[in-house]
Structure 1
Amino acid sequence: MADARRPAAVLWDMDGTLVDTEPYWIATEFALADEYGGTWSHEHALHLVGNDLLESGRYIQQHMPLPLGPEEIVERLLDGVVAKVEQAVPWRPGARELLAALIDDGMPCALVTMSYERFVAPILAQLPPGSFQVVVTGDRVTRGKPHPEPYLSAARLLGVAPGDCVAIEDSETGCRSAESAGCTVLAVPHHVPVDPGERRVRRETLVGVTPADLAAVLV
């Protein structure tokens, strides 16, 4: 990686980017609707992709609807997805390979996710220790994505400027968060579309992406 273009850090989204856990969330949402006799749809589920979990809880409470508070809904969802991810972690193609290459290159990496710490822990346990120097979870920020706080927090904890970082995201919500923080965004859409943007570079997959490729997209 050329030093002149080298990012100060790479900031990773998790759900849909590092791992394909969105189907776990969606299946758990439908199971919750069945349990309480509510109604749900794939369109509703996709509306929540990338969102702050409490915002998702409020949306579910209103649209399912459920006789539970948003916090209770979030905990029930976490119970379901944690159980699934403890059985199998569905890695996204090329993600672990790129992460390993960045580690070998000495690149600082942060995980920036709206999932809560208890869901993130079993996923991190399947990676080499220290893969991420910083982990920002949804239960450790005041304002979640699409607000810039999660990415600003990750850059601050790493001691780098957000404008010198590349964020890897899969959703419009996440891209808005990273972009508004000042990051350049490598957008790899998966379950939901991502709009073009001045600080966004689109790839169809992380397969074959190298640290040099990330240096080339840095604005």
Structure 2
Amino acid sequence: MIQAVVFDLDGILIDSEPVWEEVRRAYVDRNGGQWQPDSQSRLMGMSTSEWARYLSGDLGVGKDPAVVAEEVIAEMGRRYEVDLPLMPGAVDTVYRMGDGYRRALASSSPRSLIDRVLDSAELTQAFEVTISTEEVARGKPEPDVYLAIADRLRLGPEACIAVEDSSNGLRSASAAGMAVIAIPHPSYPPQFDALALADLTLDNLSELTMERISSVPERD
């Protein structure tokens, strides 16, 4: 029986993927690098250290990855101060899930941005556990962050259901042994094979109800 709902942050609770793309693309261009056609899809789900190394090395920025991470995260923080792009119904959905399930959050965003978003949205107290991929060995699509969530909740992964949008996120949650609900972002749709891992696909957060969750078959 599902006991906990584990939310992704970027692309699920906040419409931040366009902001991440704009900020990182401009940063790469400004620092003499070359953005690639598949860069955004590859970046979605990477931990901070992973995407900083990718920008520094693969995309040719050339700065120390720690400096890359610091400068990009600072710019993201400034963007969020001006306009926090919450998804429609995000706050209501998170609190509504609390009527029947424990709630957690597994995000590839750095801890500083997770805390900023949850504080601004008044969601800090809604989540029993929040983990950034900064805090585990490997980012998505590896299962580390979802396994860490289940461990912190003292639940088996099969007792949790993840809500994800990206290819790497769907792969991560499925590899951890969780049931998976996909809410694809229309501008950044997941790859077909990743979407096929989802137990349920919804169009938006308003469709995420306790009845829909209870209809998802249990995983062994």
| TM-score (norm: length of structure 1) | 0.89
Q: Secondary structure at the match of 2:207?
A: coil
Q: Secondary structure at the match of 1:14?
A: coil
- Which residue is equivalent to 2:112? 118
Q: Please state if 1:67 is matched with 2:62.
A: yes
Written as runs of structure 1 = structure 2, the 5 A alignment for 1:22-61 is 22-41=17-36, 43-61=38-56
- Which residue is equivalent to 1:193? 190
- Which residue is equivalent to 2:138? 143
1:62-98 deviation line (CA, Å, top 9, x unaligned): 3331121222222221111111112222112333222
Written as runs of structure 1 = structure 2, the 5 A alignment for 1:137-216 is 137-190=132-185, 191-194=188-191, 195=193, 196-197=195-196, 200-216=199-215
Q: Secondary structure at the match of 1:136?
A: strand
- Which residue is equivalent to 1:11? 6
Q: Secondary structure at the match of 1:186?
A: strand
| Residues 170 and 197 in structure 2, CA contact (< 8 A), matched pair in contact too | no
CA apart distance, 1:123:
0.7
| Residues 103 and 128 in structure 2, CA contact (< 8 A), matched pair in contact too | yes
Q: Which one scores higher on RCO, CA 8 angstroms, separation ≥ 6?
A: 1
Deviant stretches of 4+, over 6 Å: none
Partner Cα separation in structure 1 for residue 116 and residue 217 of structure 2? 31
Q: Please state if 1:81 is matched with 2:80.
A: no
1:106-160 deviation line (CA, Å, top 9, x unaligned): 4211110011111111111122441110000122111221111100111111111
Aligned pair partner of 1:93 in 88, 97, 104: 88
| Residues 10 and 16 in structure 2, CA contact (< 8 A), matched pair in contact too | yes
Question: Unaligned 5+ residue runs, structure 1?
Answer: none
Query: In the comparison of the two structures, how many residue pairs are matched?
Result: 213
CA apart distance, 1:102:
1.0
1:14-41 deviation line (CA, Å, top 9, x unaligned): 1111111111211111221232232225
Identity of aligned residues (%): 31
Counterpart of 1:108 in structure 2: which amino acid? R
Q: Secondary structure at the match of 1:193?
A: coil
Partner Cα separation in structure 2 for residue 35 and residue 212 of structure 1? 48
Q: Secondary structure at the match of 1:11?
A: strand
CA apart distance, 1:43:
3.4
| Residues 12 and 87 in structure 2, CA contact (< 8 A), matched pair in contact too | yes
| TM-score (norm: length of structure 2) | 0.89
Partner Cα separation in structure 2 for residue 42 and residue 124 of structure 1? 32
Which stretch of the first structure deviates more once superposed, 60-69 or 110-119?
Answer: 60-69
| Residues 165 and 218 in structure 1, CA contact (< 8 A), matched pair in contact too | no
Q: RMSD of the alignment, in Å?
A: 1.8
| Residues 13 and 111 in structure 1, CA contact (< 8 A), matched pair in contact too | yes
